[in-house]
Amino acid sequence: RSAGRRADGIAVQDRFLDAARLAALAGCARVRRGRGDFLPARIGSGRELQRRADIRGDSICWLEEPLFPAERELLATMEAMRSILNRALFLGLEEVELHYACYPAGSGYARHVDQPRGRGARRLSSVIYLNERWREADGGLLRCAADGGELRDIEPTGGRLALFLTEGREHEVLPAARERMSITGWFLGRQASGLPR
């Protein structure tokens, strides 16, 4: 399935996950949280990593082995998408990395870019929303700068996929009235500078 066409560096596809896959992945996230796999997210890189809940309020859990079947299926889907994107857009994408992101009610992530300074492996950012029965009043929008400079607001509706070209693209997560869950990740290319990710 192709993502919604729009020539501003951002694409959104509704029902990327059907109801069964959405419920299965939301269930995986609940199990992982229950057993303590989620850790408070930090900002910065290397030795400068720090927890700043005033800037970034989520907790995260990387999708790494051992995986649940629904997670393995999602990774296979994203790998297939990587191949399609390479054939269609010549992006040179070599791998995919994904993590769960859980924002408690009232928390968000201030305006930022997804490429730490001096590191350019992340080419395409992705967000898959796991929020069931999300309403407009719940908030939690992804606010993303489009190529023309205007801002696009994307509601975190369950099953929705948002993709955007990573380099230099500022975006933020606005606070939500209730817990907000997603799987966030990146399609990675070769590290141009030769530095590790």
pLDDT score for 1: 39
What pTM, to 2 d.p., does this model score?
0.88
Report helix angle 19-34 to 69-89, nearest 10: 120
pLDDT score for 116: 64
175 CB burial (10 A radius; 0-12, 13-18, 19+): middle
Query: In this structure, which amino acid lies at residue 1?
Result: R
List the 161-165 sheet strands across, edge first: 10-13, 161-165, 122-129, 180-188, 95-103, 59-62, 39-40
Q: What is the dihedral of CA 157, 159, 165, 168, to 10 degrees?
A: 40
Q: Name which of 101, 150, 145 is nearest 127 in CA terms.
A: 101
Q: Which DSSP symbol is given to 114? A: S
- A 10 A CB-CB count for 174 gives 15
CA dihedral sign, ordered 111, 186, 90, 81: negative
φ, ψ (nearest 5 deg) of residue 38: -80, 140
* Cis previous bond, 66, omega within 30: yes
Q: Cα dist. 105→1, 98, 128 in Å?
A: 32, 22, 19
pLDDT score for 3: 45
- A 10 A CB-CB count for 40 gives 12
Residue 165 tokens, joined? 């070209």
Q: What is the pLDDT along the chain (197 residues), one digit of tens a residue?
A: 344 445 588 999 999 999 999 999 999 999 999 999 999 887 766 676 777 777 788 999 999 999 999 999 999 999 999 999 999 888 899 999 999 999 999 999 888 888 766 567 889 999 999 999 999 999 999 999 988 889 999 999 999 999 998 888 999 999 999 999 999 999 999 765 444 43
Taking the CA atoms of the chain, what radius of gyration do you get in angstroms? Answer: 16
Judged by DSSP in three states, 32 sits in helix
Query: In this structure, which amino acid lies at residue 70?
Result: A
